[in-house]
Structure 1
Amino acid sequence: MIILPAIDIQNGECVRLYQGDFSTAHKVSDSPQETAAQFRKAGAEWVHMVDLDGAKEARAKNTALFLEIAKHSGLKVELGGGIRTLETVETYLESGISRVILGSAAVKNPELVEQAVKRFGERIAVGIDAKNEMVATEGWLDASKIHYLELAKRMEGIGVRYLIYTDISRDGALSGVNLEQLGALNRAVSCEIIASGGVSGLADVEACKSLGLYGVICGKAVYTGALPLESAIEMAGDQRC
């Protein structure tokens, strides 16, 4: 299993949100670049990055910063937020980003996901963000009427290999991952599952590994010190996925 420490970017700064609420954004680091360097020093191979401005405005923002980290940090970058066109996907993947996440597009433009998967294969992931098991889009500002398992099966059907599942109610809350929903998702599809939202400590990492998940995204717990990143990476095992 791999550990993906998270860097969320708003106005060029590294911030964290509570339950996806943009009004709760608070700065957690003086430098995204330095944060990435610290993650690398702790043994991380991947970093999960989110363009919060892009998610809110439905277009790519902060692009230069993401490409800089991909080029200079020594980390493989998994990036989501505001990616709505095949051209944006292509730009990122051909400029050093290792894996691109399509979220809102999975609901509103599944044809884009299908085209991206046909062209870029395993370098495409789909983010499924849900509250009360129903999918939310546009930076979690819009609710849909699609159950998260239904969307997961649709994505599996068009060839998506990686799914990132976030229980919005737990994101940034340090309340523990939603093992019940993650387990149900892992049983429902053959995709590789990455857990996101609510990681509070090493016990969550151990639980996700026991479920047989592919990866775990760790945000607030790393920044508060509740989750020692080096210990989490050691517990997870092989990071070379």
Structure 2
Amino acid sequence: MLLIPAIDLKNGHCVRLRQGNMDDVTVFSEDPVEMARKWADEGAERIHVVDLDGAIKGQPVNLKVVEAIASAVDVPVQIGGGIRDEETVQRYLNAGVAYVIIGTKAINTPHFLRDVCLEYPRHIIVSLDAKDGRLALNGWAKLTHFDAIEAAQHCERDGVEALIYTDIGRDGMMAGFNVESTRALAQAVNTPVFASGGVSTLDDIRKLKDLEGEGVAGAVIGRALYEGGFTLADAVKIATA
């Protein structure tokens, strides 16, 4: 099971949001590159980066920072936020990123997802952000009527490498991840699913571990690591036991 520390970028800084609210920001570091090194040194096998500014603008804003992070660590980096065209996918891969995460565009323009999965096999991940089973798009600004499980199945048919499932009602709230909805989505597909949003205690890591046989490959973890809810090393011990 893979535990992936998250680095969310806003104005070049490493921040965390609550429930995706761009006005509810906590700055944890002014040096996201050093933060990436810290997580790698503590045992992270992958780093999750989100360009929050890019998610709002629909195009990369913190590309140079992402490139610096990819150059600074010896583990794969995955990037999301504002990736809406093939040129951006190529720019990130050229910058040393291993996986590119598609969000809104994967749902709004299904042929785009099919195209990039064909062009860049094994490099495309889709982020499904949902509340009460319905997808949220455009940096969580728009709640839709799209069903998260049906969307996951479409993404699988298109050939995505993995899915990241975020319960936006729990993200950044330290309330625990949504076990039932995560399990249901993972059971509905064969593609690896990573939980995101709400992982806050080592008990949550144990619950994730229990879902490993049902298709949950790991989790993206943010605020809990930054606020000292647990150490990455302790979480990895449980996840890899």
TM class, shorter-length: over 0.9
Match of 2:237 in 1: 234
Q: Which amino acid aligns with 1:229?
A: L
- Tell whether 2:194 aligns with 1:194: yes
Over 4 Å off, 4+ runs: none
Which residue type is aligned with residue 172 of structure 1? Answer: G
Could you say which structure has the greater relative contact order, defined with CA pairs below 8 angstroms and 6 or more residues apart? 1
Q: Which amino acid in the other structure matches residue 24 of structure 1? A: D
Give me the whole-angstrom Cα distance separating, in 1, the residues matched to 2:194 and 2:154. 17
State the distance in 1 between where 2:29 and 2:122 align: 31
Deviation at residue 142 of structure 1 after TM alignment: 1.2
Distance 2:113 2:94 in 1: 17
Report the counterpart of residue 8 of structure 1 in structure 2.
8
RMSD: 1.1
SS at match of 1:121: coil
User: In the alignment, what sits opposite 1:119?
Assistant: 119
**Correspondence 1:223 to 2:226:** yes
Structure 2 CA distance for aligned equivalents of residues 5 and 50 of structure 1: 11
CA distance in 2, matches of 1:217, 1:87: 26
How high is the TM-score relative to the length of structure 1? Answer: 0.96
Separation (CA, whole Å) in 1 of partners of 2:95 and 2:161: 22
Question: Where do 5+ consecutive residues of structure 1 fail to align?
Answer: none
How many matched pairs?
Answer: 238
TM-score by length of 2: 0.96
State the distance in 1 between where 2:24 and 2:82 align. 19
Q: Give the 5 Å matches for 1:1-241.
A: 1-212=1-212, 213-237=216-240
Distance 2:178 2:194 in 1: 12
Q: Which amino acid aligns with 2:226?
A: Y
What whole-Å deviation, never above 9, does each CA across 1:47-91 have from its counterpart, x for those lacking one?
Answer: 100000000111111000001110122231110000000110011
- The structural deviation recorded for 1:30 is 2.8
